[in-house]
Amino acid sequence: MSHSQRLPDVVVVGAGVVGAACAYYAARAGLAVDVVDRGPVAGGTTGAGEGNLLVSDKEPGPELDLALFSGGLWRELADEFGAAVEYEAKGGLVVAGTPERQEALRAFAAEQAGVGVLAEEIPGERLNELEPHLAPGLAGGFHYPQDAQVQPALAAAHLLREARRAGARLHAGEAVRALRIGADGAVRGVETERRRLDAAAVINAAGTWGGELAALAGVRLPVLPRRGFVLVTEPLPRIVRHKVYAADYVADVASGSAALQTSAVVEGTPGGPVLIGASRERVGFDRTLSVEVLHRLAAQAAGLFPVLAGVNVMRAYRGFRPYLPDHLPAIGADPRVPGLYHACGHEGAGIGLAPATGLLIAQQLTGKEPERDLTPFRADRFPAEGFPVEGGDADGG
């Protein structure tokens, strides 16, 4: 059968970085892969991300274990893709404004050290050795050399490019309207606006719309969108060397609050602009530009780096993190529906966790024992009722 006529072994729904990683590892494992997305590659959450590959913001547990594993995979991918995905092993710097905050960071780093996270305490008087333009008077911080960064849209594009070289096919601009269900109740493919794709497995990498896709299979996955904004400055000399963020960012990441939260996150890029975040709020799929949030982010960034106070902001963009109530993604085979696999709900960690997610699912698909325990990420861990799913199309990138 020719390439154009062959049937896929697996259909990946979503062409963001997580879906791209699933396609990459499945195709490398010898599976015939089709990728479907209602929009372009990286047209959803991935295209609105900063590209963080972090261990510094994660407490010991399943997500941190996965992040450490995925960090090694990113280093392998960086060797393969070179500078094409703007991979930077630049490390992270978490700073504290008060001695009490520094003590909390010290306790947090001590817990992380027990599972393999590297962190060095930096006294306040030495912070300018790492970041010369930081505001004076900070109590101290911790340097995390394992933190890194990529350009997320480029990463998704190159993962998909390599998957296609291995035989994968991409169907962009096609919304999934239905899942094909066999007589035995198993998922056996998808139907889009233009075609029917029969396959032995479907991977739900639909990001914030992951709950909608799960519902097409008759199961519940309570994915919610959590909106965030990022400011992009004019191109600058490399005045910010690491990913730098304030200590309260860790608490914001772990919070389940629907209310607006902002904490300073500042990092430079190879192209020159400085990226400024981070905000979190649950407002459904409301894309309204919030001037309040932008002002808060700018003020907090200038508080950390006074040199930024006189810098022009070129643009601001927003996106929606795919949030699950316990802050863990859904990864792997759904025990409720044969043939359905999940790779969604990573919230703000999707770019960092993408390679691990793709590799572990590819191992499941090919009958291998996954290298990491996927039990904490099972899609059936939530109660049958209790968390609303906010509407949207059933696929995304």
Under the banding of pLDDT at 50, 70 and 90, the label for residue 395 is very low
Contact criterion met (CB below 8 Å) for 325 and 220: no
Mean pLDDT, residues 126-132: 98
User: What's the mean per-residue pLDDT of the chain?
Assistant: 92
Same domain, 218 and 306: no
Same domain, 4 and 139: no
Mean pLDDT, residues 305-317: 95
> pLDDT per residue over 209-218, tens digit each?
999 999 999 9
Same domain, 367 and 390: yes
Strand spans (E) along the chain: 10-13, 33-37, 52-53, 92-96, 120-123, 140-144, 148-149, 169-172, 176-181, 187-192, 196-198, 201-204, 224-233, 243-246, 261-268, 274-280, 313-323, 330-333, 340-344
The residue segments making up the domain with residue 366 are 1-90+146-223+324-397
Looking at 271, 297, 323, the residue that finishes a domain is 323
> pLDDT per residue over 280-297, tens digit each?
888 889 988 888 899 999
Under the banding of pLDDT at 50, 70 and 90, the label for residue 387 is very low
Same domain, 83 and 177: yes
Looking at 323, 341, 360, the residue that finishes a domain is 323
DSSP string, 206-220: -GGGHHHHHHHTT--
Q: How many domains does the chain have?
A: 2
> pLDDT per residue over 141-157, tens digit each?
999 999 999 999 999 99
pLDDT of residue 15: 98
Q: Which CATH number belongs to the domain containing residue 262 in this structure?
A: 3.30.9.10
Question: How many other CB atoms are found less than 10 A from the CB of residue 232?
Answer: 17
Percent of the chain predicted with pLDDT > 70: 93
Q: Which CATH number belongs to the domain containing residue 43 in this structure?
A: 3.50.50.60
pLDDT of residue 1: 36
Mean pLDDT, residues 222-250: 92
Q: Is 329 exposed, middle or buried (0-12, 13-18, 19+ CB in 10 A)?
A: buried
Give the closest residue to 186 by CA, choosing from 335, 361, 364.
335
The position carrying tokens 């996965």 is 66
- pLDDT(253) > 70: no
What Rg, from alpha-carbon coordinates, does the chain have?
Answer: 21
Same domain, 10 and 141: no
pLDDT of residue 320: 94
pLDDT of residue 82: 79
Same domain, 103 and 183: no
Angstrom distance (rounded) from CA 247 to CA 139: 11
Same domain, 24 and 107: no
Percent of the chain predicted with pLDDT > 90: 83
Same domain, 96 and 120: yes
Residue partners of 230: CB distance under 8 A and separation at least 6: 48, 50, 275, 276, 277, 278, 316, 317, 318, 319
> pLDDT per residue over 333-368, tens digit each?
999 999 999 999 999 999 999 999 999 999 999 999
pLDDT of residue 391: 39
CA 255-232-20 angle, to 5 degrees, is 70
Same domain, 257 and 176: no
Q: Is 94 exposed, middle or buried (0-12, 13-18, 19+ CB in 10 A)?
A: buried
- pLDDT(255) > 70: no
Contact criterion met (CB below 8 Å) for 276 and 233: yes
Q: Return the higher-pLDDT residue of 270 and 249.
A: 270
Angstrom distance (rounded) from CA 228 to CA 261: 9
CA 235-236-239 angle, to 5 degrees, is 145
Same domain, 167 and 23: yes
